[in-house]
Amino acid sequence: MKTKTLNRPRKQSRLYRGLFLYTALAGFMILVPAVAHSTDVTLAWDANSESDLAGYILYYGTSSGNYTSNTDVGNITQYTLSGLQDGTTYYFAVTAYNLDDYESAYSQELIYTVGNPTYTISAAAGSNGSISPAGTLTVTKGANQSFTINANQNYEVLAVWVDGTSMGAVTSYTFTNVTKNHTISASFVSSNHAPTADAGSDQTVTEGAAVTLNGSNSTDPGGSISSYAWQQIAGLTVQLSNAGANRASFVAPTVGMAGETLIFRLTVTDNGALQDADTCVVTVTKAAVVDSDGDGVPDDQDDFPYDPDEYLDTDGDGEGNNADTDDDNDGMPDEWELAYGLNPLKNDAAGDPDGDEVSNINEYNMGTEPNHYEGNFDPNPPVLLLPENGAIVGLTPQLETDQFDDPNVNDVHSKTQWKIIRAFDDICVFDVTTSASLTSMTIPKQILDEDTEYIWKVKHIDNHNGASEWSEEREFITDFAQHDLDKNGVPDDQEVADTLDLDADGTMDKIQNDIKCVAVNTEDVQICVSIRGAENAYSILSLEAEDPTNPQLVSKTKGKPNFLEFGLLDFKVLVNNPGDETTVTIFLSEPAFKQGNCFKYDPVNGEWLDYSGSTEFSLNRKEVYLTLKDGGFGDADGLENGIIVDPLAFGSETDPNGSSDGSPLDDLLEGIIPSDLSCFISAAASQSTGRGSWNLWREIRGREAAIVFVVIFLVLAAKAVWRRRRDGP
């Protein structure tokens, strides 16, 4: 039947049963590809059952749903198409039509590629064998393909893999009825044949020549050489060096070597412990004397074989001794060394022939004589390391210098003087000489102000009290104080309540200019420092409490009391004139230790100092009268500058709460005598200290004064009698 393209009009009649045929045929039409050969394709489908069926139309094309060709095959259910392009994919569909030329919808689509497909097989082997045929092969579907696996000499097949699955140590493999892509690979193992040693070629060398024994041709066809061993077996013994792998070297000695025959053996071992050895012969002949510049020094001994004016370069700096002014490169000119009996060909910079503890190089640098004792020399000025010049730092920066440097080699670093000057008015705010902080110093609290430029410098002092010149000056700028945002001199987290009136003067402490207060949060205690009525006191600038468990404080144990309360108080007071003395009052919301004292903390030297000689307590131990002197004992800035910086603590060496001395009257009267009268006499005696008038009646308000005086007198008398009886005459 002839293939043709139909432009068949589809008739429309809702009364004719062909309309049913038109809409229903596609539901049961089935396309089945038959066996294909070359470019012919046979297609078959199920028959329709309508009585007025007239025939079928076969549609096809090279894209889905786009049928560019068709043929009316008549009333048959199998048809062979010819002339299709091999290797091309076609899309097929069939319709049915009746006697009235009504045509159904398309059947389901059938996709089919014309011709047999091909597949690839990749074959690969390691360097110790091969697979034949090699590379990538194209194999027709259903075909068979065989491979031969070959091992190189001294190797054998270890394993063959097909698509990642081991086939064992086979030497051939065949793919049958190929229907997909495949891979085949193989690996090989040594058949463990002995290695071959090669000690290299025989050589003839002259005396003094450097000799290299080269066994680089040693091989191991069965694997890899695991070790090399060189040994001299004949001739004048030489010292082998760099004797590893397949090489070794030595230098033929100049004396007695001419005419010698040296034999060396190289032994190689593979990883299967098989060995082989080979030898090489080195013949030594007399070296000809060559003196290229005619200066009488052979070239092999002449550092400058082409310069008749030079033959020696002691310090190896590339400049001959005749032209070099410092032949031993020790920093001291040859002429100077010769003048003082030193050796210009030996580095003797560290020597000290006159025993004055000043090395030769330091004597030269200072212009002194290395064989004359001049006595002690001052240390060299220190070099400032940290902080860098112009750096922005906190209020307690760490200053650091380089190490102590002294011309006297046995001198030691004894002390360091640290000085800080405020830049805008040249006022010195810190001047401390310490034996503790020698090359590093952390500036104590309260010394520096925020957002201020400072200049600092340092001196090093030796154990003979010899001081260096001042170091060069450096600058730093303090950052803003983030812990005191309201700038009232008290850390924000230590502010007291607005209602606090610890000095009991009827005015809230926070609004007074002559008092500052902090809350010691760790102990729920409030502490105030007041300069009211204090002679020479101009202003109290700041107050801060430090936690006594602060690791920096805990680690400083020298002189530290066994018990501390309230922590460490840091405050800063201005006096009227440099060197002034004043007495401030400390108010405590809780009584201090009954048998405690005041201690000054020295942050520079990291030690605690007993300050009880300048301290008095009130009767109730809630007021402390502290005498301070600008530049005196305990002033942390170390100078008379009108500023007193005081790190203070309350502590006790013994039981901080005190105890009686065992007197029966003590036990009897415990609780009868008010605790706020325990220091009555010392407090009464302190009325004239400039702290304002003292009112006995205020202290014992609500009690009969006469009874109190009688009781005190009786207690003191009775205790004296009791002690006399206890201790004997």
Q: Is residue 587 part of a domain?
A: yes
Both 139 and 245 in a single domain? Answer: no
Both 148 and 216 in a single domain? Answer: no
Residue whose tokens read 């031969």 = 148
Q: What is the pLDDT of residues 524-534, one digit of tens each?
A: 899 999 999 99
pLDDT at 95: 94
Both 581 and 433 in a single domain? Answer: no
Tell which of 130, 161, 190 closes a domain: 190
Average pLDDT over residues 83-97: 88
Tell which of 113, 145, 168 closes a domain: 113
Q: Is residue 167 part of a domain?
A: yes
- For residue 570, give the nearest of 540, 538, 596 by alpha carbon: 540
Q: In angstroms, rounded to a whole number, what is the distance separating the alpha carbons of residues 72 and 726?
A: 146
Both 390 and 471 in a single domain? Answer: yes
- How many other C-beta atoms can be found within 10 angstroms of the C-beta atom of residue 331? 12
Q: In angstroms, rounded to a whole number, what is the distance separating the alpha carbons of residues 458 and 469?
A: 9
Q: In angstroms, rounded to a whole number, what is the distance separating the alpha carbons of residues 205 and 253?
A: 11
Q: What is the rounded (10 degree) CA torsion for 543, 549, 552, 555?
A: 140
Q: Is residue 324 part of a domain?
A: no
pLDDT at 683: 29
Tell which of 113, 141, 166 closes a domain: 113
Bridge partners of 608, per DSSP, are 601
Q: In angstroms, rounded to a whole number, what is the distance separating the alpha carbons of residues 368 and 371?
A: 9
Q: For position 437, which CATH number holds?
A: 2.60.40.10
Q: What is the pLDDT of residues 317-328, one digit of tens each?
A: 989 889 899 989
Contact 650, 612 (CB under 8 A): no
- How many other C-beta atoms can be found within 10 angstroms of the C-beta atom of residue 297? 17
Pairing of strands 275-285, 203-206: parallel
pLDDT at position 248 over 50: yes
Q: Is residue 604 part of a domain?
A: yes
Both 543 and 630 in a single domain? Answer: yes
Q: In angstroms, rounded to a whole number, what is the distance separating the alpha carbons of residues 398 and 484?
A: 21
pLDDT at 707: 58
Bridge partners of 248, per DSSP, are 213
Q: Is residue 321 part of a domain?
A: no
Q: Is residue 470 part of a domain?
A: yes
Both 130 and 109 in a single domain? Answer: no
State how many domains the chain has: 6
Q: In angstroms, rounded to a whole number, what is the distance separating the alpha carbons of residues 677 and 666?
A: 14
Q: In angstroms, rounded to a whole number, what is the distance separating the alpha carbons of residues 213 and 230?
A: 9
Q: Is residue 71 part of a domain?
A: yes
Determine phi and psi for 66, rounding to 5 degrees: -115, 90
Q: In angstroms, rounded to a whole number, what is the distance separating the alpha carbons of residues 535 and 629?
A: 11
pLDDT at position 110 over 70: yes
Q: Is residue 44 part of a domain?
A: yes
- How many other C-beta atoms can be found within 10 angstroms of the C-beta atom of residue 599? 25
Both 525 and 618 in a single domain? Answer: yes
Both 496 and 460 in a single domain? Answer: no
Report which of residues 404 and 567 the model is more confident about: 404
Q: For position 151, which CATH number holds?
A: 2.60.40
Name the pLDDT band for 252 (thresholds 50, 70, 90): low
> Which stretch of 48-52, 215-219, 398-402 has the lowest confidence by average pLDDT?
215-219
pLDDT at 84: 87
Name the pLDDT band for 522 (thresholds 50, 70, 90): low
Both 544 and 629 in a single domain? Answer: yes
Q: In angstroms, rounded to a whole number, what is the distance separating the alpha carbons of residues 204 and 210?
A: 11
Both 151 and 131 in a single domain? Answer: yes
Q: How many CA atoms lie within 13 A of 390 on its CB side?
A: 0
Write the Ramachandran bin of 687: left for phi over 0, alpha for psi from -120 to 50, otherwise beta.
Answer: alpha
Average pLDDT taken over every residue of the chain: 81
The domain containing residue 108 runs over which residues? 18-113
Q: In angstroms, rounded to a whole number, what is the distance separating the alpha carbons of residues 19 and 14?
A: 6
Bridge partners of 98, per DSSP, are 53
> Which stretch of 25-34, 190-199, 236-245 has the lowest confidence by average pLDDT?
25-34
Both 600 and 704 in a single domain? Answer: no
pLDDT at 519: 93
User: Which amino acid does the sequence have at 599?
Assistant: F
Give whole-number Cα distances, 169 to 129, 158, 564, 723, in Å.
13, 5, 86, 110
Q: Which residues contact 477 (CB under 8 A, 6 or more apart)?
A: 390, 391, 392, 393, 451, 452, 453, 454
Cα torsion angle, 256, 258, 261, 266, sign: positive
pLDDT at 221: 62
Both 89 and 32 in a single domain? Answer: yes
pLDDT at 428: 93
**Residues above pLDDT 70, as percent of the chain:** 81
Q: In angstroms, rounded to a whole number, what is the distance separating the alpha carbons of residues 389 and 44?
A: 98
Buried residues in 180-197 as b, exposed as e (16+ CB within 10 A) = eebebbbebbbebbbbeb
DSSP letter assigned to residue 685:
H
Q: In angstroms, rounded to a whole number, what is the distance separating the alpha carbons of residues 203 and 482?
A: 82
Q: Which helix (H) or strand (E) holds 545?
A: strand 537-546
Q: Which two tokens stand for residue 244?
A: 């590893």
- How many other C-beta atoms can be found within 10 angstroms of the C-beta atom of residue 688? 8
Contact 544, 490 (CB under 8 A): yes
Contact 450, 395 (CB under 8 A): yes
Q: How many CA atoms lie within 13 A of 117 on its CB side?
A: 10
Q: What is the pLDDT of residues 492-521, one digit of tens each?
A: 999 999 999 999 999 999 999 999 999 987
pLDDT at position 587 over 90: yes
